[in-house]
Structure 1
Amino acid sequence: MWPQTEQAEMTKALVAVGERPDDMTLYVNILLLRKDKEVILVDAGFGPHKNQNWGWLADAMDTIGIEFKDVTHALLSHSHIDHIGGLASGGKILFPNAAVHVLKEEVDFWRGKEPDFSKSHRTDDIKQMIKNVRGSFDTLQPNLVIHKDGDQILDGAITIIAAPGHTDGHAIFRIKSENESLLHVSDLAHNHVLMLENPNWFIDFDHNPDVAIATRKKVFAEIAVTKERAYGFHLPWPGLGVVIPNGRKAYQWVPAAHRWDI
C-alpha cells in the first residue's frame, strides 16, 4: 500500500504517536448533510458487500431515519470502489432520486479508450477495476451531473474543487453554512500520520503520485494557515479536525473533540 523506500522513517513516525505499523486502520467516513429539504451524501462507500466490515451505510442511515430515496444529491469525489460502490450495484441505482455530481475529468478518464495507469504503483486488477467503474457510470448515467473546477451547487453552499493526482478527476468539496465552512479533503490523506508528517509520502492507489503530492501540499498549506475545519474520508472517525503546521514543512492532524449532544 505504501510503495516508498523510507519504511524505517514511516515506522518511526507511526510509533512516535502510538500507532502500530503492522495494524493500521483505513477508515471510511461517509458524510451526510441536510440543507433545507435537500439531503446530500458525500461519497457512498463500498456498497452492499459480502465482507461484513464493509457496507454499513444502509444501517447507519436507517438509524437516523433517512431512506435511500430521500437523498437528493450525491457528491462523488472519485471513482474508486470505496467511494462509488455504494451508488450503484447490480445495474441498479441505489439512490434513485439523487443527482450524482462529478468532475468531467473523472468521467473522461474512466471512459477513455485506454485509461493511463503508467504512473501508478498499483498493478493488480486494473482491467477489472476499469470495467467495474465503467459499468457504474453506465448505470448512473441518467443521474450524472458533470462539473468543472469551481462549480457551485445548492445556491453556493457547496463548491466542487479539482484536486487531481489520486485520480485525474479527484475532487474535494468546500461546504458552507452561514459563517462557517468545512473542507472535505476526500482522499488527499489516507492516514492521519504519514501523509501529514511527510506530504511526499503517497499510497499506491494514487494514479499520479507527483501530482497527488503537489495537490496535497497546496491544500494543506492553505488550511494550515486559515485553520479551516477539514473532514477526511480516510482519517480517524468521525473524520473531523484541523491541519496545523508542525514547524518542519509538514503538518499534524488535530482531531476535533467529539460531542454527544443530548
Structure 2
Amino acid sequence: MQRRHLLAAGLSAAAVSPLAWLAAPGAWAQAAAELGTPSLPTPGFRRMKVGEAEVIALNDGIARRPLGEEFVKNAPLAEVRELLARQGLPTGHIDIPFTAFLVLSGGRRILMDTGFGEHGGPSTGRLLGQLAAAGFQPGDIDTVLISHYHGDHIQGLRRKDGSLVYPRAQVLVPEPEHAFWMDEAAMNARPEAQRGGFQLARRVFSELPAGQLQRFTPGSELAPGLRSVAAFGHTPGHTLFELQSAGQTFVYVADLTNVPALFARNPDWAVSFDMDAEAARRVRRATLQRVVETQALVGGYHFPFPAFGRIAAQGEGYAFQPA
C-alpha cells in the first residue's frame, strides 16, 4: 500500500471514466445478478442525536458489482483483494450502499442528497420508504442539500414523470458544481458517450421553479449551525456538510471515500469515479485527519449501514468504526 502506485496514467484514467459511466446514470444501481442479491438493512433508518439536533440516516438501497481492475485505478487488483480479505470482506464483488441523511435542527427538516428515486435498480429507491418509516413525508422536507451532481445523489429529486418529489423544499447546490455540469461548452467538448451526466443534470435542475434552486459558495453557512465545506476532487464542486449543536459535531462526508474499507484504509487509492483523483486524494487525507482530531461523528453516503460512526487512524490510513 505504498504511494508508488500513484502513477500519472492511473490518475488520468480515473478522471475520464466517470463521464462515460454517467452516460447511463442508472447503471451504478444495477446489481450483477450472478453475484447474488445484497442484504438490505431492516429497518433502513437510524436516528442519532447531535447536541440538540437529530440526524436520521435513510438507506436508499445497495448495489453489488463485480470487483475488477477498473474500480481502484492506481493499485493492482491483487492488492485490493488482499486488503479486503484482511478485513474479512468478499474479494470478488463490492457492495455499495447509498445513504442520505435528514437533519432536524431549529425547526428545519434538511435532507442531504436524494438517492436514485425511481431511476435505479431493483435494490435501490428505498429512501422514501425509510423516510415514511421514520415518520416523515416528502412534503415535510423544507431544504434539500446536494453534495454533487452524480446520478445516485440527484435523481431522487424528480419522479419518472418529471414531477418534484419534495415540492416545498428549497434546493441548495454548490455553485462550482452547478457551473461545471451546466456548461454547454464543456459538455459539447466531450464525445457523445460522455455527455450523459451533463444531460442528467439539466433534466433534474434546469426547470426547477423560480426561486427554488439556490446556489451557494462552498464554505458558507447554510442554516444556523450548518455550514458547507469545499472538498473538490471527486467532482469539480464536491461539497461536505458540517452540523454543530451544543458542542457536538456531525460531518456528512458524501463521497469523500467510496467504500471506506478500501479508500479510508488507503486514502491514496483512487476510485474510478474520482474526476480529479489527485485533488480527491489530498482532500480525503486532510478531511479524515481533521475528523479524527475533532472526534466528530461522520456519515458517509457509501458507508456500510447505519453509515454513522467515527474515523480512527490505522497504519498509514484510517478505519471507519460504525456507531
Q: TM-score of the superposition, structure 2-length normalised? A: 0.73
- 1:65-108 per-position Cα deviation (integer Å, ceiling 9, x unaligned): 31111100111000111100101233322111111111100100
Asked whether 1:88 is paired with 2:161, we answer: no
Contact 2:233 2:283 in 1 (8 A): yes
**Aligned Cα RMSD in Å?**
2.0
* C-alpha distance in structure 2 between counterparts of 1:117 and 1:83, whole Å: 23
Residue aligned with 1:54, SS: coil
How far did residue 174 of structure 1 move?
A: 0.3
Match of 2:178 in 1: 107
* C-alpha distance in structure 1 between counterparts of 2:264 and 2:209, whole Å: 36
Match of 1:15 in 2: 85
Give the 5 Å matches for 1:94-243.
94-115=165-186, 125-140=193-208, 142=210, 143-155=212-224, 157-243=225-311
Residue aligned with 1:85, SS: helix
Give the 5 Å matches for 1:16-31.
16-31=86-101
Q: Which amino acid counterpart does residue 169 of structure 1 have in structure 2?
A: G
Match of 2:140 in 1: 70
How far did residue 5 of structure 1 move?
A: 3.6
* C-alpha distance in structure 2 between counterparts of 1:117 and 1:12, whole Å: 41
Residue aligned with 1:91, SS: coil
Q: TM-score of the superposition, structure 1-length normalised? A: 0.89
* C-alpha distance in structure 2 between counterparts of 1:124 and 1:3, whole Å: 23
Q: How many residues align?
A: 250
Contact 1:28 1:233 in 2 (8 A): yes
Q: Which amino acid counterpart does residue 274 of structure 2 have in structure 1?
A: D
Match of 1:259 in 2: none
Please, which moves more after superposition, 211-220 or 82-91?
Answer: 82-91
Residue aligned with 2:195, SS: helix
* C-alpha distance in structure 1 between counterparts of 2:121 and 2:174, whole Å: 30
Unaligned runs of 5+ in 1: 257-262
* C-alpha distance in structure 1 between counterparts of 2:268 and 2:250, whole Å: 24
- 1:134-163 per-position Cα deviation (integer Å, ceiling 9, x unaligned): 1211133531111112211222x2101110
- 1:201-242 per-position Cα deviation (integer Å, ceiling 9, x unaligned): 121111111111111011112112222111111010011111
Residue aligned with 2:99, SS: coil
* C-alpha distance in structure 2 between counterparts of 1:128 and 1:66, whole Å: 33
* C-alpha distance in structure 2 between counterparts of 1:65 and 1:244, whole Å: 33
* C-alpha distance in structure 2 between counterparts of 1:109 and 1:49, whole Å: 23
Residue aligned with 1:93, SS: coil
* C-alpha distance in structure 2 between counterparts of 1:38 and 1:13, whole Å: 41
Match of 1:47 among 88, 100, 117: 117
